[in-house]
Amino acid sequence: MAQMTPATVRLKPLFTRDEIADAVRRIAAAVQRDYDDKNPVLVGVLKGSFIFLADLVRQLEMSLEIDFVRLSSYGAGTQTSGQVRLVQKVERPLKGRHVLVVDDILDSGLTLKFLMDYLARQKPASLRLCVLLVKRGQQYVPITPDYHGLQMDEGFVVGYGLDWDQKYRNLPDICVVEMDGGI
């Protein structure tokens, strides 16, 4: 691989680009069915959702708007810090709108629970959550996505928008990071 990778790090493919594309197609079909005439606002969570959101919206044949929020909870490590901060808010009012939050992965749920609670206070007509990937059994706050594409067990993954210390977002497949001595 052309990127700099420390000798002790291995990236093991978990979901190929074709499996991801199938999952995105399935989610898009469900979203299309549910939001067809609702002119929803899709709120992407930066930065991790940018590729998923881009692929998803290009399969939706409906009127919709796109906005972004940026939250910060992770530092350079691979464990959530538990501290969530809203770094960038949505630009337009969400009151009375059908809001669909789009994110890359549901892990502990802390970040997304914080965001969903924050958005609910803006009194949208509806508020749902769509994530590409769910880490099975890892949520320690009560949160269930309304749409999800893929599931994995514990581990840390990169690619298709997901980063490790801001790197590897550009990988077309989703890969597990394996490090000698653990991660």
Is the distance from CB of 157 to CB of 135 less than 8 angstroms? no
> Minimal distance in Å, beta carbon 42 to ligand IMP?
15
Give the three-class secondary structure for 182: coil
Considering the complex, state which of residue 38 and residue 50 has its C-beta at the smaller distance from Mg ion.
Answer: 50
User: What are residue 69's phi and psi, to 5 degrees?
Assistant: -125, 160
Span near ligand IMP by CB under 6 A; candidates 7-15, 56-64, 86-94, 98-106: 98-106
Using CB under 5 A as the binding rule, whether residue 161 contacts Mg ion is answered as no
For ligand IMP, which residue of 14, 43, 110, 132 counts as binding (CB under 6 A)?
Answer: 110
Catalytic one among 55, 103, 107, 173? Answer: 107
- For 106-128, b/e burial (b = at least 16 CB within 10 A) is bbbbbbbbbbbeebeeeebeebb
Is residue 156 a contact residue for ligand IMP (CB under 6 A)?
yes
Nearer to ligand IMP, 32 or 170 (CB): 170
Known active-site residue 180: no
* Exposure on the CB side of residue 109, measured as CA atoms within 13 A: 15
Which residue, 148, 169, 151, is CA-closest to 159? 169
Residues 112-151 that bind ligand IMP (CB under 6 A): 112
For residue 156, the partner it binds in Mg ion, ligand IMP, none, with Cβ less than 5 to 8 A by kind, is ligand IMP
- With CA atoms as reference, report the closest residue to 173 among 17, 10, 1, 4: 17
- State the nearest-atom distance from the C-beta of 2 to ligand IMP, in Å: 21
Give the residue numbers annotated as catalytic, written as ranges: 107
